A and B are shown apart, each in its own frame.
Chain A
Amino acid sequence: MSGFLGADRAVELAGRASARASALAATPGARRWWRALLGNPAAAAGTTLLVAFGVVALAAPWIAPCPAGQERHCGDDPYRVPRYGFAGMPRPPSAEHPFGTTGKQYDVFYGLVWGTRTAFRVGLLITIPALLVGVAVGATAGYFGGWADEILMRTVEVFMAFPFFVAAVTLASALRAHPQLGQGLLAPMLALLAFGWMGYARLLRASVLSVKERDYVWAARALGVGDGRIILRHVIPNSMFSVLVAASLDVGGTVLAFAGLSFFGLGVPDGYADWGQMLAAAHDRLPSLGRDWHLVVFPALALVLFALGCTLVGDGIRDALDPQSASRLPASERR
């Protein structure tokens, strides 16, 4: 058959057929996703939480507009929290400051509302690149095996030899000394990314090992399709499931880890709208937390509810699409 069609053409046809098949499969799949998200009460609660956070993030300019007289703080860059004075005691919640102010007189409500955007940005901008790196490493190691596998997997083990937080703190602080990378959000994000991809590489490698022996891969190989094309078109799409679920579960953990770096002064700069940064104000006032409860309670609520939403949604997707794994280990080990 390939005699008159040509190998490439045959594969193209086969690919088109498989694309049609996956489009067909996608219809009930999409419905299954929705059922997964809204069908069981826990996942529905998680979806509601995340949607609520999404609305807050999108509507931030209307929920917390830059107050009059604060233009020099949040006028140009809305991520800079308005500041009412310089030092003194944190002010408790009032009509003017619904969640009170920090010791440095930053408005907690404003910081938390705009911090929602930071949370989504950070969660996705760390998890997605980590996922891509993990997929590239895992697919290469699993597909080619042999020396490539040995070297890549030993590298994974070396990265995993570091306790996650310890490594992230060290890297974030080392990057601070770097003239270009040291400013803004880049240093803490790179630190979390550098030690956040290994889990995906391992998961993907494990599924690639079984997928690469499937008939359709052998068929493609027999038709003379190149390795790169096989990996990209056949192997990766069919081994992504568990990695995607793990990544969706990890978004919350990533946001918490980032907030942890900010909490200790290794994340975003002072006065940046970020949940961890708002919580850091509590770190300065540990002895009097009984009085300054608002410094802990509001940022903590935001963080816990966001992480809870991510966990519930991730669990819901996993349970609905892969009932066998209902008892599997939680994917995020980052604490």
Chain B
Amino acid sequence: MRTYIARRLLLLPVILFGTTLLTFGLLAQLSPSQRAALYVPRLPRSPQAVERVIARYGLDDPMPEQYLRWLGQVAQGNLGFSKSGGEPVSTVIRHHLPATLELALWSSVTIVWVGIRLGVLAAIHRDRALDQLLRVFSTIASGVPFYLVGLLGLLLFAGRLQWLPAGDRLSSPNQLLVDGPTWLPLTGMYTLDALVNRRPDVWLDALRHLALPVASLSVVSWAYLLRVTRSSMLEALGEDYVRTALAKGVPARQAIERHAWANARLPVVTLAGLTVLGLLGGVAFVEAVFNWPGLGSRFIQAGVSLDIVTTMGLTLFAATMLVIGNLVVDVLGAWLDPRIRLS
């Protein structure tokens, strides 16, 4: 176990080094004058002035030198200046991360909590109507991209039925209140802050705005999680120890929870972790569809307006998150498996 974690930790800097190299490689494709345009708000007309910008930022230096300089800046948290955001990329991250985090947290809880239960249900009701229904659902849903579920949900629940709001994080009076001086912004996640500020009405409003984006992210992810939970659970239910437990009179519920699930959860936990990490890409699309002011919609906006500094900075940030997240999932999976933990 220790050597496993040690190996992973030793590889971490190697992978991170590679990600910076790849990201910088993208930037290096541009000509010096194109890169100069990334550094100043408006590129001066005269060629001499452009030359000055290039010389000042050393954009004509050998690439390794430029890479090291860039890396030094990144290490200090300077990811460059976001043109489309009008502020440094690190500030963009600080301002918009809470919105994304709130969406991701609610989605993760919904995905894991409901997805696993659906899978266990399908396994228990194997080949009966419920199982068939869930199988059809998972086949269709696993082929649908996040943004499409979002659009269909928007069309149905916000457009046709008008049950839920069509976008944003709060309705405008509440948004004004939250941005105002009386509000204590503790985390930037409104569902938490509303509790701290004792405003159940704001909490409910935030939840209503979360419903559709969270559902868009969840429905597709359930399809995967449910499939793996089902097959893993079926395997465990067929084992002798479950039969023995049932034979000696253990109630079915307990046999399922204690005996089968304890053994079925290993692959499920790993996949649940990977599914949640998979949201890193999907969240961007869902945010853009629902006008959710998080990192994802900022990222797409930057991508569309060809603001390379911002897209690269956010990509590097997302990649770092993903690498660390993968490590956590791996270690957690290894820790849950006594065969690995005790070896």
Interface residues of A (CB under 8 A from B): 42, 154-155, 157-159, 161-167, 169-174, 176-178, 252-253, 256-257, 259-260, 263-266, 279, 282-283, 286-291, 293, 296-297, 300, 303-304, 307-308, 310-312, 327, 329-330, 333, 335
Residue with the greatest number of chain A CB neighbours at <10 A, chosen from B34, B151, B299, B314:
B151
Chain A residues with Cβ below 8 Å from B21 are: 158
* Inter-chain contact B224/A330, CB cutoff 8 Å: yes
Chain B nearest Cβ from A166, distance in angstroms: 5
Chain B residues with Cβ below 8 Å from A283 are: 289
Chain A nearest Cβ from B238, distance in angstroms: 12
Query: Which of A161, A170, A252, A293 is in CB contact (< 8 Å) with B159?
Result: A293
* Inter-chain contact B322/A161, CB cutoff 8 Å: yes
Query: Which of A162, A177, A286 is in CB contact (< 8 Å) with B154?
Result: A286
Chain A nearest Cβ from B270, distance in angstroms: 10
Given contacts A161-B19, A290-B160, contact A173 B318 (CB under 8 A): no
* Inter-chain contact B319/A330, CB cutoff 8 Å: no
Chain B nearest Cβ from A317, distance in angstroms: 15
* Inter-chain contact A282/B148, CB cutoff 8 Å: no
B:181-201 near A, CB below 8 Å: none
Given contacts A173-B303, A256-B145, A286-B289, contact A293 B155 (CB under 8 A): yes
Given contacts A161-B319, A162-B315, A166-B315, contact A173 B281 (CB under 8 A): no
Given contacts A161-B323, A174-B308, A311-B139, contact A169 B299 (CB under 8 A): yes
* Inter-chain contact B303/A165, CB cutoff 8 Å: no
- Mask, B166-189, CB within 8 Å of A = 1, is 110000000000000000000000
| Chain B residue at minimum C-beta to C-beta distance from A167 | B315
Cα-based distance from A166 to B22 in the complex (angstroms): 14
**How many residue pairs, one in A and one in B, have C-beta atoms under 8 Å apart?**
168
Query: Which of A163, A171, A176, A260 is in CB contact (< 8 Å) with B322?
Result: A163
* Inter-chain contact B311/A173, CB cutoff 8 Å: yes
Chain A residues with Cβ below 8 Å from B19 are: 158, 161-162
Chain A residues with Cβ below 8 Å from B311 are: 169-170, 173-174
Cα-based distance from A297 to B152 in the complex (angstroms): 8
Query: Which of A165, A282, A327 is in CB contact (< 8 Å) with B285?
Result: A165
Chain A residues with Cβ below 8 Å from B300 are: 169, 264
Asked if B63 is at the interface of the complex by the 8 Å CB criterion, the answer is no
| Chain A residue at minimum C-beta to C-beta distance from B145 | A256
* Inter-chain contact B227/A330, CB cutoff 8 Å: yes
| Cβ-closest 4 pairs across A and B | A290-B159, A158-B18, A165-B281, A307-B143
Cα-based distance from A90 to B88 in the complex (angstroms): 39
Query: Which of B34, B155, B160, B318 is in CB contact (< 8 Å) with A162?
Result: B318
Residue with the greatest number of chain B CB neighbours at <10 A, chosen from A171, A253, A304, A333:
A304
* Inter-chain contact B166/A287, CB cutoff 8 Å: yes
Chain B residues with Cβ below 8 Å from A178 are: 29
Asked if B306 is at the interface of the complex by the 8 Å CB criterion, the answer is yes
B:151-166 near A, CB below 8 Å: 151-152, 154-155, 158-160, 162, 166
Asked if B291 is at the interface of the complex by the 8 Å CB criterion, the answer is yes
Chain B nearest Cβ from A307, distance in angstroms: 4
* Inter-chain contact B303/A264, CB cutoff 8 Å: yes
* Inter-chain contact A162/B322, CB cutoff 8 Å: yes
User: Can you identify 17 A-B contacts, CB atoms within 8 angstroms?
Assistant: A161-B326, A162-B322, A163-B278, A163-B322, A167-B319, A169-B300, A169-B303, A169-B311, A173-B304, A174-B26, A174-B29, A264-B288, A296-B151, A300-B152, A312-B139, A335-B145, A335-B281
Interface residues of B (CB under 8 A from A): 11, 14-16, 18-19, 21-22, 26, 29-30, 34, 139-140, 142-148, 151-152, 154-155, 158-160, 162, 166-167, 220, 224, 227-228, 231, 234-235, 271, 274, 277-278, 280-282, 284-285, 288-289, 291, 299-300, 302-304, 306-308, 311-312, 314-315, 318-319, 322-323, 326
Query: Which of A157, A165, A173, A308 is in CB contact (< 8 Å) with B15?
Result: A157
Chain B residues with Cβ below 8 Å from A169 are: 284, 299-300, 303, 311
Chain A residues with Cβ below 8 Å from B139 are: 42, 308, 311-312
* Inter-chain contact A289/B151, CB cutoff 8 Å: yes
* Inter-chain contact B304/A279, CB cutoff 8 Å: no
Cα-based distance from A263 to B302 in the complex (angstroms): 15
Cα-based distance from A123 to B83 in the complex (angstroms): 34
Cα-based distance from A169 to B287 in the complex (angstroms): 14
* Inter-chain contact B18/A154, CB cutoff 8 Å: yes
| Chain B residue at minimum C-beta to C-beta distance from A308 | B143
Chain B residues with Cβ below 8 Å from A173 are: 302-304, 306-308, 311
* Inter-chain contact B154/A176, CB cutoff 8 Å: no
Chain B residues with Cβ below 8 Å from A159 are: 22
* Inter-chain contact B159/A289, CB cutoff 8 Å: yes
* Inter-chain contact B160/A335, CB cutoff 8 Å: no
* Inter-chain contact B318/A163, CB cutoff 8 Å: yes
Chain A nearest Cβ from B300, distance in angstroms: 5
Cα-based distance from A253 to B142 in the complex (angstroms): 10
Cα-based distance from A304 to B137 in the complex (angstroms): 13
* Inter-chain contact B299/A286, CB cutoff 8 Å: no
Cα-based distance from A296 to B224 in the complex (angstroms): 25
Chain B residues with Cβ below 8 Å from A174 are: 26, 29, 308, 311-312
Query: Which of B147, B315, B323, B326 is in CB contact (< 8 Å) with A263?
Result: B147
* Inter-chain contact B306/A307, CB cutoff 8 Å: no
* Inter-chain contact A304/B26, CB cutoff 8 Å: no
Chain A residues with Cβ below 8 Å from B11 are: 154, 157
* Inter-chain contact A170/B152, CB cutoff 8 Å: no
Cα-based distance from A154 to B143 in the complex (angstroms): 30
Chain A residues with Cβ below 8 Å from B281 are: 163-166, 335
Chain A nearest Cβ from B243, distance in angstroms: 20
Chain B nearest Cβ from A135, distance in angstroms: 22
Chain B residues with Cβ below 8 Å from A330 are: 142, 224, 227
